Amino acid sequence: MMQFLEKYFVMILTATAGTLGYCLIINIKRNKIIYGCLGGMFATFLYCICVESGLSLLLQNLIPAAVATLYAEVLARVVKAPATVFLIPAIIPLVPGGRLYYTMSAIVDANVDEAKLYAHETIIIALGIAVGIVIVSLAFYHVSHKNIQFKVRFDRSMCQLDSVPREGHEEE
């Protein structure tokens, strides 16, 4: 456990600081900033665990994104705020900005093989994040809307026949 913390402590700390900066930039309310930072820290921690476990690049990003989405959905119901307030800051540390930069750099340098490699990795990471978010969001939507019954109310004035004149409408 100590080796893990020594290896990834700076990464988790800087991801949390980056999440804090993002929360401040997009003006998240002060009482909700701590939740965004905890989500970013937790997502990064899970990412580090997935990397150490030797999972594929897709799963290294899918699992933390799914757990961050679960965290955001649960917290949204507890705090009574939109889930995106907690979800977006939580997945910011997972975004493949570095690989995207290297992809663009290789394209500019006309290094096709390197560009293909980085582009492939970037797409896999983005796909993992997107699929993780979609799976949990759909599950939450399905569960939360399962027991809702829609009641339709009819206004009697809207159900009148055309032959009966309504107020303000004269027969011609």
| Domain assignment present for 52 | yes
> What does the pLDDT look like over 106-144, one tens digit per residue?
999 999 999 999 999 999 999 999 999 999 999 988 887
**What pLDDT does residue 6 have?**
84
Name the residue with higher pLDDT: 2 or 98. 98
| Domain assignment present for 12 | yes
pLDDT band at 68 (very low <50, low <70, confident <90, very high): very high
pLDDT band at 42 (very low <50, low <70, confident <90, very high): very high
Q: What is the rounded average pLDDT of the residues 36-65? A: 95
| Domain assignment present for 169 | no
| Domain assignment present for 153 | no
CA–CA distance, 20 with 32 (Å, rounded to integer): 11
pTM for the model stands at: 0.78
Q: DSSP per residue over 6-38, as a string? A: HHHHHHHHHHHHHHHHHHHHTT--HHHHHHHHH
Structural domain containing residue 95: 2-145
| Domain assignment present for 78 | yes
**What pLDDT does residue 151 have?**
59
Number of domains in the chain: 1
| Domain assignment present for 86 | yes
| Domain assignment present for 10 | yes
